[in-house]
Structure formats: C-alpha cells, structure tokens
Amino acid sequence: MRTPARVLTAVLVGVTAASAPVLAFVGFATVAERQDVSVTIYNSADLTLVKDRRAVVLKKGVNPMRFEWSGTLIDPTSLLAFPPPGVKVLNTTYPLDHGESLVWELQAAEQVGGPMSVQYFTSGLTWAGDHLVTLTGGGRASVETWITVTNSSGEEYRDARFRLVVGEVRLVERIAEIAQRFKQEARGYAPQAPAQEMMREFAEDEAMPAAAPASLSKASGGAMRASRPKAVERESLSELHLYSIEGTESVPNAGARRMRAFSYRDVAVKDVYRCVNPSGRVPAQRVLSFKNTRENRMGTQPLPEGRLLLFRATRDGNAFDGNGQLPYTPMGEEAEAPVGSTPGVTCEAYVKSFARKVVDKDALGRTLGWEDITEWELTLVNGAAEPATFEVRQSHEAPATVTLKSAKAENTTTLVVREDLDGFGRKVLRYAISVKRGTLAEKKGR
C-alpha cells in the first residue's frame, strides 16, 4: 500500500497521528497545496535535508500549527519553520497527547498570506550511480550515467526536486538514532537541538527556487519514460560536490526511482588487459579508462562513484561484456575501472637468467655501484575472439632500463610493456631489464 505524502490542511481541532508527517493548523487558516519540495541526500552520513514550501493565509493574532512525524525517521531536533514575512514564531511546544509532534505558535500583526516552509533532517534515503558504457568500435564508446534514489524514510516524496551530495559528512550522532531516541523519550522531552545549528547554516546558504520543469514524460499506467537525460548542475561546497537533477521526480516510501542523469557519445576509451608484476601464468585483469575532459566529449561535471556496466555493440544489439566499480572522477581527470578477467586471456612471465655487473669500486676495491641484469620471457595469450591490447607493468626498487622496443618507462622505477594481439593470438617476448644500484642509482636519479 502506498504511504501518503505529507499533507497540509486547515482544521479547527487537533489532527491524529499518521504514517507520514502531517502539518496542520489549529484554528483558522487557509492552506494551499504544496508548491515545492526539495530533497538533498548525503549518502556518506545517511542524512537528508528536506524543504517543504506552501502558500498560507494566517489570521491576525496567534496561529497554532502542529507538525506530526509518526512512522518516519525525521530528526525532531532539526525541525525549523519559516513563516511568511512579518510573521514571528513565538514558541515551540511538544504536546504530551501526541508523542511525535510539535506545535509552533505563529504571530501575525494582521491577516497575511505568503510562502511558508518547513525544513528538517531525516534518514533512510540513499542514492547510487550506475555508469553504462557501450563499446561502439574503433576505441570509442557511449557513456550514460543513471541515478537510483531508494526511499525507506517512512515518507513518500511526490514531485520533489532531488539534489545529491558526493563527499564525506561527519556527524556526532546519526539522524536515525536521534529519531529513535526521541520516540523512547517523547514524554517530558526537552529538545537540545543538536541539528538545528546545522539546519540554520543550510537555511542561510540555500534559497527555495521554484520547481524546474520535468524532463521525463508520463506514460500509461503512471510509469515514467525517459525522453532525454536530465540536466545536472554541479556546485562545489568545500570537499563536497552537489548534483542538482533537473525537474521533479516522485519516489514512494519503500520504493525507488531510477533517472538518467547525463549521456555522452563518441568518447575515446582505453580497453586493456593488465598484468602487474606477473610471475608465472596469471589471468590478465581487464581495465577500462577514459578521460573526463571536454576534449573527450565529456568533462561537464564530475562523475559520481558507482557501478560500471560494460556492453559491446553488435549487429544483434548490445552484449554484456563486464562490470566493475568506477571511483569518483573530477573534471579533467581520467576515470579507470577494472571490469574483471576473460577466460583464456593470460600473461606468463619467467626469469631466464640473472647477472650482476660491477661498475664502480672505491680505492680499496669495495663495490659501490653495480648493475643487475635480468633476462625475461613474457608470453601473452589472447584466448578471446576479439582483439586485445595487453599492458604489463613491472616495478623495480631502483632506476631501470629495458631492451624491448614496445616497453616504455612510466617513471624511473616502472616499466610498461604494451602489445596488441588479434583474437586467439599468442606472442612471446624476450627482453632484458637493467637495474642500476648503489652509486649508479644515485647518479641516475640526479
């Protein structure tokens, strides 16, 4: 059964507890339908900031207003009321006859109408990113990012504007713990408001803009059909990054909603099979990477952390090709994700010989600098039908050089071998690595 959304009504007597927050006036008042609700989700702390705005008309004098949150995970210490201009909040009380409620007394010098908003923290809302990468051939791909919002807060959010925060938020207490403790100590509870100072900071920094038009169109049966990616605006708040999803969405309690955030086409990607310091035969780890830059037809916003699903375009449609986890990637940097291994795609490395060449001695004949020369045999096997690019990385404690033409020095101590193999191909490479030690290493590093 769908949980009703929070409602705002004009009544003459108190309201009963409900399974979702209820906002009501005790006394005469005119209350319009909710105009706007925004939901800002901080995944790292199980923290969500909710702002609910409506148009109200208040009588001259004191207007009691009751807010109830039975069955939800709202933090009662964070609740703040923002009445229309010229209206004051005289007092906040917690009635004993309603354990999970409070009453604001609003004083108006004259009958007044205007926007009224209520803000609070809750928990139980999370979001996750999915990155769908489809290889289209020639080292190119399409990249789509989808966002899924999951709601177990006890409240339904209808036509809400969602904002998603990336970054670490540290709280002294968890919102869910505060909400649970309030239920246990409702009678005689004196609110300490540990969250209200934080809430006021949000209120000072953020306005309540009108809702933007939705970019999803409704299909039959109330389902949502994507017409185009939603626009995503990014803001940087110190170490936090804020994504604002265009338009509005409805997320039921105990449900989820998936929305497409952004989409890119003709992106240059690197798809390699990587082996790091192989010894003997080891499976090659497939790694996908691409630059989040405007030059690469991306770079309009950071990429949130999330699951990466890899597909390959074929004549019969897209075929699943692997999956992994994409880390948070700022604009201008390279995104990289391991996407598993492929049976039969391996690296096999053995040391064939080792020699030490003394180059530098002191006056007493003691060795000061020498060169270790290791001969390697590296066998690359592509057991898949598709061509594959291999990347073999070998690290050393000191500066090293290699005799293989396809090997490049990434830095003074890391050598990278890159080779392309056809489907079901096999290649054997033989080469020597020279590592300078002692005084030779010191000279090399200067």
Residue 194 located in a structural domain: no
Q: Which of 28-42, 77-91, 356-370, 402-416 has the lowest mean pLDDT?
A: 28-42
Distances (CA, A) of 427 to 261, 343, 384, 406, 438: 43, 17, 14, 13, 35
The more confident residue out of 213 and 379 is 379
Residues linked to residue 113 through DSSP beta bridges, in sequence order: 57
Q: Could you tell me which residue, 336 or 212, shows the higher pLDDT?
A: 336
Residue 222 has pLDDT above 70, yes or no: no
How high is the pLDDT of residue 439? 86
Q: Helical H runs in 161-295?
A: 175-184, 196-205
- Nearest alpha carbon to residue 268 among 107, 400, 418, 143: 143
Cβ-based burial of 385 (10 A; exposed 0-12, middle 13-18, buried ≥19) = exposed
- Angle CA(325)–CA(289)–CA(324) in degrees, nearest 5? 20
Q: What is the mean pLDDT of residues 414-435?
A: 95
Strand-pair partners of 56: 31, 114
Most confident of 158-167, 345-354, 361-370: 345-354
With a CB cutoff of 8 Å and minimum separation 6, the contacts of 50 are 37, 38, 39, 40, 119, 120, 121, 122, 157
User: Do residues 308 and 325 make contact, with C-beta atoms less than 8 angstroms apart?
Assistant: yes
* Side-chain-side CA neighbours of residue 18 (13 Å): 18
Beta bridge partners of 308: 131, 324
| Structure confidence by residue, pLDDT tens digits, 112-133 | 999 999 999 999 999 999 999 9
In this structure, are residues 377 and 405 in contact, taking their beta carbons and an 8 Å threshold? no
pLDDT at 335 > cutoff 90:
yes
What average pLDDT does range 304-327 have in this prediction? 94
Of the ranges 130-144, 204-218, 363-377, which one carries the lowest mean pLDDT score? Answer: 204-218
Q: How far apart are CA 225 and CA 262, in angstroms?
A: 15
Which one of 67, 98, 122 terminates a domain? 122
Checking if the pLDDT of 138 tops 90, the result is yes
Question: What is the C-alpha R_g of the chain?
Answer: 31
Q: Is residue 217 domain-resident?
A: no
Q: Measure the CA–CA gap between 254 and 22, rounded to whole angstroms.
A: 19
Of the candidates 232, 261, 233, 241, the residue with the CA atom closest to the CA atom of residue 169: 241
Residue 354 CB partners (closer than 8 Å, separation 6+): 372, 373, 374, 375
* Encoded tokens for 104: 């604001």
- Residue 66: its pLDDT value, please? 85
| Better pLDDT: 191 or 379 | 379
Percent of the chain at pLDDT > 90 equals 54
The model's confidence at residue 269, banded by pLDDT at 50, 70 and 90, is very high
Closest CA to 3 of 14, 25, 26, 19: 19
pLDDT number for residue 54: 86
160 in a structural domain: no
Going by C-alpha positions, the residue among 263, 260, 282 that lies closest to residue 273 is 282
Report the alpha-carbon distance of residue 310 to residue 95 in Å, rounded: 55
Domain assignment of residue 11, yes or no:
yes
CB-CB neighbours of 101 under 10 Å: 22
| Segment 159-212, tens digit of pLDDT | 999 999 876 655 545 555 555 555 555 444 444 444 555 555 555 444 433 333
Is the residue at 79 inside a domain? yes
pLDDT confidence of 43, banded at 50, 70, 90?
A: confident
Is it the case that residue 344 has pLDDT exceeding 50? yes
In this structure, are residues 385 and 421 in contact, taking their beta carbons and an 8 Å threshold? no
Q: Rounded to the nearest 10 degrees, how much is the dihedral formed by the CA atoms of 274, 276, 278, 282?
A: -40
Token pair of 339 as six digits? 């996407």
Residue 206, pLDDT score: 46
Domain for residue 14, yes or no?
yes
**Phi and psi at residue 392, in whole multiples of 5°?**
-110, 120
How would you label 131-147 residue by residue, b for 16+ Cβ within 10 Å and e otherwise? bbbbbbeeebbbbbbbb
Degrees to nearest 5, angle at CA 147 with 269 and 238: 85
Using left for φ > 0, alpha for ψ between -120 and 50, and beta otherwise, residue 222 falls in left
User: Which range among 29-38, 107-116, 163-172, 290-299 shows the weakest confidence by mean pLDDT?
Assistant: 163-172
List the structure tokens of 347.
């690296």
Q: Out of 76, 99, 122, pick the residue that ends a domain.
A: 122
Measured between alpha carbons, how far is 258 from 202 in angstroms, rounded to an integer? 27
pLDDT given at position 94? 87
Q: Is residue 356 part of a domain?
A: yes
How many separate domains does the chain show?
2
Q: Is the CB of residue 89 less than 8 Å from the CB of residue 3?
A: no
Residue 337 included in any domain: no
Tell me which of 71, 96, 122 is where a domain ends.
122
Question: What are 62's two structure tokens?
Answer: 């004191």
Pairing of β 125-137 and β 306-314:
parallel
Domain containing residue 59 = 7-39+46-122
CA-wise closest residue to 124 among 176, 174, 80, 53: 176
Q: Round the average pLDDT of the chain to a whole number and report it.
A: 81
Is residue 72 over pLDDT 90?
yes
